[in-house]
Amino acid sequence: MSKKRVVIAGMGFGGLQAAKVLANGTIDLIMIDRNNYHLFQPLLYQVATAGLEQEAIAYPLRGLTRRWQGASFTLAEISGIDLDTRCVFTDSGKVPYDYLVIAAGSRTNFFGMQSVAANAFDLKRLDQAEDLRNHILMMFEQATREPDQKRRAAMLTFMIVGGGPTGVEFAGALRELIVYVLSQDYPAISATETRIILVEAADSLLTAMPVELRQYACRKLYSMGVEVLLESRVVGATAESVELADGLVIAAHTLFWSAGVAAAELADFISGVERSTSGRIVVQPDLSIKEHPEVFVVGDMAYCLDNEVPLPMMAPVANQQGDYAARMILAREQGKSLPPFHYADKGSMATIGRSSAVATAAGFKISGYIAWLAWLLLHLYYLIGFRNRMVVMMNWTYAYWFQERQVRLITAKKRRAGCLQ
């Protein structure tokens, strides 16, 4: 009897975890992704702030595939999925399947604000991190020779929208880059001349965390020199200014957006499925699509209720869903079934700066050095590849002891065309 074919569309956290479980030689496994590497997105902001090399947080997918029996990888862009004929359409041809795991992740949600989308940086891809790093360094280069004090101040003002983990971590890392490194590289610019403004629509940062940790994070950022604007919303932007909902316009040449995500574009190419908020595909308790039990959606693309509450679009959720979907496929092939998916919340964490972080797990609330150390170890653990772990650990050790960032490279002097799309 021929092996059943399982196609995994997208090799982010959910897709990779599903592939690990399914790559046991009993099925024909085909993995499809637009990139030939798995990207560890939680550390993209460190590439943007000159802390890590791009290659340190990515791992070639074919390097994984060659170790897995019955598995193959296809570098392709998926243009559509026909659920009725069980076929995935790509720019290199169509791929039939018996089972399909859709794990294409998410895209940045600008909530329909075209001016913001056209002028803001976001972090979903490696090239975007490089673009943002180039831009930050170029702002300092240009500010050193700008005679107009207002334009100089605008060049040295950095707006960050979104007070979740990404926004908080980026704000802290950027402030440390400026204070410890760039103020030394550019002696004509004082760190006190620069402004980092973190804008959050809610009444606190890190809203998913306990109140004590939210307050700690806010106090820590304030002490570092980051301005925090709570209950504020960005409604528009140009290349040189940002407009808030209350009418205030702030002159700033840098706008970083981390205020929302939506399902990846692939969700738009799938017809006959129910969608919910942010374009996510509604799934059954076993993560399959209604009327198509052979198709599973995991990670950021899946709208899954757990205790009547939709699960957040986070890497731990994607990991557990990818594992569950793979085990469900194997169980069905053995004539068995599994109980409905249930997310085991193991907690959350965010680093704020040197020796400072917040973390919550199993009812425990931790802040400061211990939380920061736990954050470091956990991220090292989840990185793929021994070399990547060693490179990241050495970079972090060097930065900790010498307060230095080695990756201060300007590889392009202008934004790439379409880099914000």
- Residue ranges per domain, the chain? 5-34+76-108+262-333, 114-258+347-402
416: confidence class by pLDDT, cuts 50, 70, 90: low
**Are residues 241 and 250 in contact, defined by beta-carbon separation less than 8 angstroms?**
yes
User: Mean pLDDT throughout 160-187?
Assistant: 96
Q: How far is residue 325's CA from residue 10's CA, in Å, rounded to a whole number?
A: 14
Report, as an integer, the average pLDDT of 95-112: 96
Q: What is the mean pLDDT of residues 353-378?
A: 94
Give the pLDDT of residue 414.
72
Please give the backbone phi and psi of residue 97, each rounded to the nearest 5 degrees, phi first: -145, 160
Residue 94 neighbours by CB distance under 10 Å: 12
Please state the rounded mean pLDDT for residues 35-54: 95
Helix (H) or strand (E) segment spanning residue 333:
helix 315-333
Please give the Cα distance from 214 to 98 (Å, whole number).
46
- C-alpha closest to that of 108 among 50, 164, 32, 177: 164
pTM listed for this prediction? 0.94
Q: How far is it, in rounded angstroms, from Cα 86 to Cα 95?
A: 9
Residues 130, 169, 176, 243: which is the catalytic one?
169
6, 27 in Cβ contact below 8 A?
Answer: yes
Region 226-254: what's the mean pLDDT?
97
Give the model confidence (pLDDT) of 26-41 as tens digits: 899 999 999 999 999 9
- Fold agreement (5-34+76-108+262-333, 114-258+347-402): yes
CATH number for the domain running over 114-258+347-402: 3.50.50.100
Per the document, the length of the chain is 421
Does 227 participate in catalysis according to the annotation?
Answer: no
5-34+76-108+262-333 fold: FAD/NAD(P)-binding domain (3.50.50)
pLDDT, residue 196, reads 98
Please check the confidence at residue 415 and state whether its pLDDT lies above 90: no
- Contact between residue 23 and residue 71 where contact means Cβ atoms under 8 Å apart: yes
